[in-house]
Structure 1
Amino acid sequence: MSFISELADELDLEFFFERESLAYKMGRGASGMQINAKHCPNCDDSRYRVYLNADTGFGNCFVCNETFNKAKFIHQHFDHADNEWGRTADVLKEVLRDQGWRPKRTVGAAVEMPSTVKLPYSHELPLDTGENLTYLEQRGVTPELTRYFHLRWCEFGWWDYKKEDGTPARQHFDNRIIIPVFDLDGTMVTYQGRDLLGPPEDETAFYRKYLFPIGLPGTGRFLLNGQNVHLTEDVAMGEGAFDVIAMKAAFDGESALRNVVPVGSFGKHLSYGSPDGNDQLGRFIKLKAMGVKRVTIMWDGEEKALKAALDAAKLLNGIGLVARIALLPADKDPNEVLPEVVRKAYWEAVTWTPVLDIKWRLKNPYRAPRTGAAKPVSAD
């Protein structure tokens, strides 16, 4: 029923009445706009005695006193039996497709874990009990998202490698979230370990927030979550893993953005120039061949990041992609703002052109005035 409720939440009730040619009137009630339906699907009264909140669908019939929500009203309208909620779900999906709705991309592409890349001993998240790490929950990373990004928890684990002189060595990944990195074909090529404990009290101790396995290919040639770029024309590019996860969560929150697949560049750059195309620009060329047309860059809201975004946009434009640049709030990245802020930045992103490039390099929207006061971010 939770899936049906999610579908119903997305449905525009007025669109449904129009689509089904149901007689209704619109009016304003104490809790907002109301749909006054002529026909009650429960008692068959046809005297406009059914009142439903146009937004939530909650309401009732003042003849039979039956209460409704969107799903229940539609279930009874089509005269589905108590055990036929699956049919109602199918109807909801059909109506939503007509409405312009897109389902969430909850299932990722098939991936392969080759024997050459052995992950540290770790637990797949969420755990078999359904539990998720508190750290992830506090950052808005739901169990659904942990599955989509194949996140794992390493309490005690290590990566064995050989030093340059051939002697064996061990790299510990204790108390880290393991973030697998896949190539476009779904083959795991490397991974990251994100620390859960924070910097040690001893400020002189060496600390790495992110740990990369020694001896495996560097992440700079790959696109995080690139394996899930399929059946879409739109890609949005963040930096690190948690930026990409935050973008995915934000896009899931608005039906019109669920076709946008977020990828990560592992920093404020776009690698290019490899003779065999084994770099990030080469992978965007492959994505273009798969149907991608637009890339929206969503790096940090800061002066240097915007300059780097302009460089990356020029490269993407040079291979025939439409490159757009989103302006996030100053000193913030997608992981540090609310989902609605991410969505707003995406919708307001500006298409790169040579004129825009010169304009923003001369007058960077993030450059603070000489007085030192914070300057509001503007695309103008």
Structure 2
Amino acid sequence: MANVSQELIDRIRDAADIVTVISPYVNLRKQGQNYVGLCPFHDDRHPSLHVSQRKQIFKCFACGAGGNAISFLMEYEKISFLEALRRLGDQVGIPVTVESHPEQKDFIAQLYDLHDAAADLYTNTLFSERGRPALAYLKDRGLSEEIIREFRLGLAPNQWDFAWNYFQKRKIRREVLQKSGLFTFTEKGQFDRFRNRILFPISNLSGRIVAFGGRALDDDPAKYLNSPESPIYHKSEILYGLHRTRDVIRKADQALLVEGYMDFLQLYQHGIHHLAAVSGTALAEQHARLLRKYVRRVTVVYDGDEAGQKAALRAGYLLLREGIDARVLVLPDQEDPDEWVRRVGR
């Protein structure tokens, strides 16, 4: 029987905003942190329908109807789960593809497993004799061993086929390796994408590793290198560290938005947990919509140089357009959040 992968369902659900979904059907008005309106599922004379943008759920306190954006469309339009998912996917720009064969689901699972195994490989390398200089570099930058292990930082050594040989010995399917983004394929052969780099695993909201960001340990002009998009990694839908911090952000109803992995880790290590990072890519509308599900206020804290402040202003304007109370914290020139928090503390 045809089915849709859980990964795709999660992507669409995470990208959608329930207030945007329900508003065409119900006249909603803001009441505190929630929205209220007349329930469409019974003869409602007094607004009984409550919609939580932070929790992404609706609940009628008169008739008991409730659920998420998908279940609202199913109940209101009297359509199937698949049709509701397709309509929601159209709204957020994510097409729904149906799996006719169980192998596709198995393929996605193998991609997740491969990234988890790669993270273990790189972390073990960082803490081996081979990784001593890279580990010393991270500690010199002020990161504790505890935070390094907690976020599973690793090392891709300066070797063209380090990870390739490792996974070849474990007989991983070639198609999985090709689609993972961990390797580059050319007419001359295949090579590790990440070489001589500190690696930062990037996780989705479910906590599964879907990509890596790599920081060069030499004078490579590409100081940072991220995984390309893949069947499990869509960069405009993921903010670094949000899977760890979203509950804190929701409770605080505010967030700090930083640019890089080191910025995030330094602030997190100093006890500042209501934050997320764009991880080396420009803030996109989908990022803003994702944040809007958890908070009403976002403070953008980018590098203090001219380029960083221009990027911060662009991010601030984008957040404002998405209905978020956005502010920009200007750091001293040539200082980034990583350096700033190490200098002044929390």
- Give the structure-1-normalised TM-score: 0.47
Matching of residues 1-150 of structure 1 within 5 Å: 114-115=112-113, 117=115, 119=118, 121-124=121-124, 127=127, 133-150=135-152
What's 1:263 paired with? 276
Deviation by residue 1:319-353 (Cα, 9 ceiling, x = unmatched):
3332221111112111233435474xxxxxxxxxx
- Is 1:295 the counterpart of 2:311? The answer is no
Is the contact made by 1:296 and 1:323 (CA closer than 8 Å) also made in structure 2? Answer: yes
What's 2:84 paired with? none
- Is 1:193 the counterpart of 2:214? The answer is yes
Is the contact made by 1:268 and 1:299 (CA closer than 8 Å) also made in structure 2? Answer: no
- Is 1:237 the counterpart of 2:257? The answer is yes
Is the contact made by 1:154 and 1:177 (CA closer than 8 Å) also made in structure 2? Answer: yes
Name which of 304, 310, 314 aligns with 1:311: 314
Is the contact made by 1:334 and 1:342 (CA closer than 8 Å) also made in structure 2? Answer: no
Considering Cα pairs closer than 8 Å and 6+ residues apart, tell me whether 1 or 2 has the greater RCO.
2
Distance 1:299 1:134, change over 3 A: same
Is the contact made by 1:239 and 1:264 (CA closer than 8 Å) also made in structure 2? Answer: yes
Distance 1:166 1:188, change over 3 A: farther
Is the contact made by 1:161 and 1:170 (CA closer than 8 Å) also made in structure 2? Answer: no
Is the contact made by 2:305 and 2:334 (CA closer than 8 Å) also made in structure 1? Answer: yes
Amino acid at match of 1:243: D
Deviation by residue 1:85-132 (Cα, 9 ceiling, x = unmatched):
xxxxxxxxxxxxxxxxxxxxxxxxxxx981253627323498499x99
Distance 1:128 1:312, change over 3 A: same
- How far off is 1:223 after superposition? 0.6
Q: Distance in 2 between matches of 1:319 and 1:174?
A: 38
What's 1:179 paired with? 200
Distance 1:340 1:135, change over 3 A: closer
Q: Which has the higher helix share?
A: 2
Amino acid at match of 1:270: L
Is the contact made by 2:303 and 2:334 (CA closer than 8 Å) also made in structure 1? Answer: yes
- How far off is 1:152 after superposition? 1.8
Q: Distance in 2 between matches of 1:248 and 1:322?
A: 23
Name which of 198, 206, 211 aligns with 2:225: 211
Amino acid at match of 1:208: A
* Unmatched tracts of structure 2, length 5 or more: 1-109, 165-176
Q: Distance in 1 between matches of 2:185 and 2:199?
A: 25
- Is 1:333 the counterpart of 2:336? The answer is yes
Amino acid at match of 1:266: S
Deviation by residue 1:241-287 (Cα, 9 ceiling, x = unmatched):
1111122234x2xxxxx4x4221113473112xxxxxx31232133x
Q: Distance in 2 between matches of 1:125 and 1:144?
A: 16
Amino acid at match of 2:152: H
Is the contact made by 2:224 and 2:280 (CA closer than 8 Å) also made in structure 1? Answer: no
**Structure 2 SS opposite 1:119:** helix
Distance 1:124 1:280, change over 3 A: farther
Larger radius of gyration: 1
Distance 1:294 1:340, change over 3 A: farther
